[in-house]
C-alpha cells in the first residue's frame, strides 16, 4: 500500500482532526508542506492501536484504571512494615477505596464487557464479592481489635492483588483504559457510530474502530472511482454515494435521513469520503480536555504551526496540572502558548487566531485578534495574580482568571465584573477570595482594552491611579471626622450611579460629600464626562480607593469554576 494520501487544512473541524491525527501517528511519520500533510496508506496499519494508545498515555493519570492500580503502593508499604502504622484512617481509606473505586468502576457494564478480552479465565465478579468493608462498632477500641482487623485487611488484600494484577496486565490497561476514555474524552468529539453506537455488536472497541473507520479507507484507496457520481464536500474527492455524512460529529452534524430541511432544496450533498471521516474521528485528539472542557487553537498559518501551537498549549496544561487539575489550566495554557516570546511569537502581531472551546456540550468560538493578544501579553503579570482568585455564587465558584479572559475573548469590557467585585466587597458577601488590589489589576486590564479598542484615549493609566489615591484620601477624610458610618451609604449611591450610567447623580453625591469634607474635587473628574467609558473608568477607580484594604484573603476559585 504505497498510495500517498493528501489531507489539506481547511475549517476548524478538519484542522482539529489533522492535529489529532498528527498527535496519534507522530508528525515525524508524515510529510508536511504548507496547508497539507502527506502519508502512505501503510501508515494506517495498526492505527486503531495508535489511536487508543495516544489517549491512554495522554490521560493515563485521570483514568479509573489508574485509581485502581495506584493503591498497590499503599498495600506494599503496609505489608513491608507488617501493618505497624495501619490505623483507623488507613482502614477508612481502604473501605472507601474498595467501595468508591474498585467496586464502583468494575461493576459498570461497559467495563464488564471487556473482562473476557483481558483474561477469559479471570473471575472478577467473585473477587469483588470477596471484598468486604471492615467497620468498628461504637464500643470497640482500635487497640483492642487491631490484630483481628489486620487479619481481615490481609484477606481483602489478597483479593485486591488479583484485581490489581488483572488491571495491570498489558490488556488490562488496553481495554479498561479504552473503555474509560470512550466515555470521558472521545465522546466529546463524536458519538452514535462505531463503539459509541448504542447497539454495536462488537465488544472489542479496537476492532469496532478498525471496522468503522480504517477498513473503509484502505478499501477506498484501492477502489476504482472513475465512475463515481459524487464528491466529498470537504476535500472534493470522488465518492460512490452520500451515505456517510457528519451526523456522528457532536454539535455539528445532523441526521441526513431525518433532517432534510437542513440542506438546500431538501437535496442532501453533505457527504464525506472515508479519509476525511477518519480525520474527523481524530478531533478528540486535537482538542485538549480538562474536566470535560476542551480547547483548540485554529491557527491557519500552516499545518506545522497549527500543530506546534496546540502541542505547546497541551504541554503547558500537563505542567500546570502537576499543581492540581482544574479547568483554569486550559486558559493559563492558552495565555502561555500564544504569548511566549520565542518560537516565532512575533508573527502573532500580524494575524488573528480562532479559538474553539468545547464547554457544556457545545462549541464556542472566539477570534483572538492581534489587539486582544497584545492586551493579554501586556497583562501577563496581572493575570498571573488572578489564577487563584475568585468568588462564590450559590454553589458555583467563579475563577477571576478565567472570567477575565472570557470577557476579553468575547471583546467585552470588564465594567460589569468590576462592579460586581466592588459591590461584593462593600457588602461583605461570604466566599470572596480576592482583595481590592486584584480588582485594581482588572481595571488596569480594562483600561488597556478600552485604549486598544480606541473608545477611551483621553485618560491615562497614571491618571486612574491618581483617582484611586483620591479615593483613599476621601475615605481618610471621613475617618478623621469620625464619620466612617457614612461611607457605606455614599458608596451605595456612587455604585448605583455607575451601574445605571448616571453621571449627574454621581457628581451630585460627590459634590455633597466633598463639601462635607471641605475639600476641593480633583480636576480629573471633569474628564469623566467625555464618554461613558471614561465615566465608568474614573468612577470605579475612585471606588477602588474608597474601598481599599490592606488585608488579603486566602486563595480560592480553583474548583467548579464558572
Alpha-carbon distance values, 395 to 556, 560, 561 (Å): 14, 9, 10
Cell triple for residue 6?
493528501
pLDDT-derived band at 339, boundaries 50, 70, 90: low
Beta-carbon contacts of residue 355 (< 8 Å; ≥ 6 apart): 295, 296, 297, 298, 334, 365, 366, 367, 368, 409
User: What is the reported pLDDT for 553?
Assistant: 42
User: What is the reported pLDDT for 187?
Assistant: 95
Calpha distance 37→463 (Å, rounded) = 53
Q: Same domain for 400 and 429? A: yes
- Is 296 inside a domain boundary? yes
- Count Cβ neighbours within 10 Å for each residue of 470-499 and write b for 16 or more, e otherwise: bbeebbebbeeeeeeeebeebbebbbebbe
Tens of pLDDT, residue by residue over 282-330, are 999 999 888 778 889 998 778 998 998 899 888 877 676 655 545 566 6
Residue 120 CA to its chain's centroid (Å): 38
User: What is the reported pLDDT for 387?
Assistant: 87
- Is 189 inside a domain boundary? yes
User: What is the reported pLDDT for 334?
Assistant: 73
pLDDT-derived band at 349, boundaries 50, 70, 90: very low
- Is 378 inside a domain boundary? no
- Is 380 inside a domain boundary? no
Calpha distance 17→280 (Å, rounded) = 5
- Is 415 inside a domain boundary? yes
- Is 373 inside a domain boundary? no
Domain extent for 16: 4-59+185-286
Tens of pLDDT, residue by residue over 362-404, are 999 988 777 887 888 888 889 989 988 999 988 888 999 989 9
- Is 379 inside a domain boundary? no
Total domains in the fold of the chain: 4
Tens of pLDDT, residue by residue over 420-469, are 999 999 888 889 999 999 999 999 999 999 988 888 877 888 889 999 99
Q: Same domain for 82 and 28? A: no
Tens of pLDDT, residue by residue over 503-517, are 999 999 999 999 999
Residue 48 has a CB neighbour count (10 Å cut-off) of: 21
Q: Same domain for 298 and 340? A: yes
Q: Which of 286, 320, 335 is the last residue of a domain?
A: 286
Query: To which H or E segment does residue 489 belong?
Result: helix 487-499
Residue range 13-28: average pLDDT? Answer: 96
Q: Same domain for 410 and 446? A: yes
Q: Same domain for 437 and 554? A: yes
User: What is the reported pLDDT for 291?
Assistant: 75
Calpha distance 151→153 (Å, rounded) = 5
Q: Which of 115, 146, 179 is the last residue of a domain?
A: 179
User: What is the reported pLDDT for 368?
Assistant: 78
Tens of pLDDT, residue by residue over 150-194, are 999 999 999 999 999 999 988 999 999 999 999 999 999 999 999
Q: Which of 130, 148, 179 is the last residue of a domain?
A: 179
User: What is the reported pLDDT for 468?
Assistant: 92
Tens of pLDDT, residue by residue over 113-162, are 999 999 999 999 999 999 999 998 888 889 889 999 999 999 999 999 99
Whether pLDDT at 548 is above 90: no
Q: Same domain for 272 and 406? A: no
User: What is the reported pLDDT for 337?
Assistant: 66
Nearest to 60 by CA among 183, 173, 202: 173
Q: Same domain for 315 and 409? A: no
Whether pLDDT at 103 is above 90: yes
User: What is the reported pLDDT for 523?
Assistant: 84
Q: Same domain for 126 and 199? A: no
Q: Same domain for 282 and 321? A: no
Residue range 480-505: average pLDDT? Answer: 91
Tens of pLDDT, residue by residue over 525-545, are 877 777 888 899 999 999 999
Q: Same domain for 53 and 71? A: no
Residue range 336-350: average pLDDT? Answer: 50
- Is 516 inside a domain boundary? yes
Location of C-alpha cell 488596569? 444
- At residue 494's C-alpha, the angle toward residues 493 and 496, to 5°, is 65
Higher pLDDT, residue 384 or 53: 53
Cell triple for residue 105?
468502576
DSSP 324-357: ---THHHHHHHHHHHH-SSSSGGGGGT--EEEEE
Whether pLDDT at 348 is above 60: no
User: What is the reported pLDDT for 435?
Assistant: 92
CB 369 within 8 A of CB 352: yes
Q: Same domain for 190 and 334? A: no
Q: Same domain for 71 and 139? A: yes
User: What is the reported pLDDT for 320?
Assistant: 65
Amino acid at each position: 500500500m504505497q498510495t500517498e494520501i493528501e489531507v489539506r487544512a481547511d475549517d476548524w473541524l478538519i484542522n482539529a482532526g489533522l492535529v489529532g491525527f498528527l498527535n496519534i501517528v507522530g508528525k515525524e511519520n508524515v510529510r508536511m508542506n504548507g496547508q497539507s500533510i502527506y502519508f502512505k496508506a501503510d501508515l494506517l496499519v495498526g492505527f486503531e492501536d495508535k489511536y487508543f494508545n495516544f489517549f491512554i498515555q495522554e490521560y493515563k493519570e485521570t483514568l479509573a484504571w489508574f485509581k485502581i492500580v495506584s493503591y498497590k503502593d499503599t498495600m506494599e508499604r503496609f505489608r513491608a512494615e507488617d501493618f505497624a502504622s495501619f490505623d483507623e484512617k488507613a482502614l477508612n481509606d481502604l473501605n472507601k477505596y474498595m467501595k468508591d473505586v474498585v467496586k464502583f468502576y468494575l461493576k459498570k457494564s461497559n467495563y464488564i464487557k471487556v473482562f473476557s478480552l483481558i483474561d477469559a479465565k479471570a473471575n472478577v465478579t467473585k473477587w469483588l464479592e470477596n471484598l468486604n468493608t471492615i467497620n468498628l462498632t461504637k464500643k470497640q477500641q482500635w487497640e483492642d481489635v487491631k490484630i483481628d482487623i489486620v487479619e481481615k485487611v490481609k484477606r481483602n488484600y489478597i483479593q485486591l492483588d488479583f484485581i490489581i494484577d488483572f488491571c495491570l496486565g498489558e490488556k488490562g490497561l488496553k481495554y479498561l483504559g479504552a473503555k474509560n476514555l470512550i466515555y470521558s474524552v472521545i465522546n466529546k468529539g463524536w458519538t452514535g457510530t462505531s463503539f459509541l453506537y448504542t447497539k454495536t455488536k462488537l465488544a472489542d472497541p479496537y476492532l469496532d474502530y478498525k471496522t468503522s473507520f480504517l477498513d473503509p479507507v484502505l478499501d477506498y484507496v484501492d477502489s476504482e472511482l472513475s465512475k463515481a457520481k459524487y464528491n466529498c464536500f470537504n476535500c472534493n474527492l470522488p465518492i460512490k454515494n452520500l451515505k456517510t455524512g457528519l451526523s456522528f460529529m457532536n454539535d455539528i452534524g445532523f441526521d441526513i435521513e431525518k433532517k432534510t430541511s437542513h440542506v438546500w432544496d431538501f437535496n442532501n450533498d453533505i457527504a464525506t469520503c472515508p479519509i476525511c471521516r477518519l480525520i474527523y474521528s481524530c478531533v478528540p485528539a486535537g482538542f485538549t480536555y480538562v474536566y470535560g472542557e476542551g480547547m483548540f487553537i485554529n491557527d491557519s498559518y500552516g499545518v506545522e504551526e497549527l500543530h506546534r501551537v496546540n502541542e505547546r498549549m497541551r504541554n503547558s496544561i500537563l505542567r500546570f496540572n502537576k499543581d492540581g487539575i482544574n479547568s483554569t489550566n486550559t486558559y493559563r495554557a492558552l495565555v502561555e502558548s500564544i504569548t511566549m516570546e520565542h518560537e516565532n511569537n512575533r508573527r502573532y502581531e500580524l494575524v488573528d487566531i480562532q479559538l474553539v472551546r468545547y464547554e457544556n456540550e457545545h462549541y464556542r468560538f472566539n477570534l483572538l485578534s492581534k489587539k486582544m493578544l497584545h492586551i493579554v501579553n501586556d497583562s501577563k503579570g496581572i493575570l498571573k495574580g488572578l489564577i487563584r482568585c475568585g468568588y462564590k455564587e450559590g454553589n458555583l465558584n467563579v475563577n477571576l482568571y478565567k472570567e477575565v479572559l472570557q470577557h476579553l475573548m468575547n471583546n467585552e469590557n470588564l465594567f460589569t465584573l468590576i462592579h460586581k467585585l466592588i459591590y461584593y466587597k462593600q457588602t461583605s458577601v461570604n466566599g470572596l477570595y480576592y482583595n481590592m488590589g486584584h480588582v485594581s489589576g482588572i481595571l488596569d486590564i480594562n483600561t488597556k482594552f478600552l485604549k486598544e479598542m480606541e473608545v477611551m484615549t483621553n485618560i491615562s493609566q497614571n491618571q486612574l491611579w491618581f483617582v484611586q489615591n483620591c479615593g483613599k484620601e476621601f475615605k481618610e477624610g471621613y475617618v478623621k471626622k469620625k464619620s466612617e458610618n457614612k461611607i457605606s451609604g455614599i458608596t451605595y449611591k456612587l455604585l448605583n450611579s455607575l451601574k445605571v450610567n448616571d453621571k449627574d447623580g454621581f457628581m451630585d453625591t460627590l459634590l455633597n460629600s466633598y463639601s462635607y469634607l471641605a475639600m476641593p474635587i480633583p480636576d480629573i473628574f471633569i474628564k469623566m464626562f467625555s464618554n461613558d467609558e471614561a465615566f465608568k473608568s474614573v468612577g470605579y477607580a475612585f471606588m477602588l480607593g474608597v474601598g481599599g484594604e490592606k488585608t488579603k484573603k486566602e486563595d480560592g476559585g480553583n474548583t467548579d469554576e464558572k
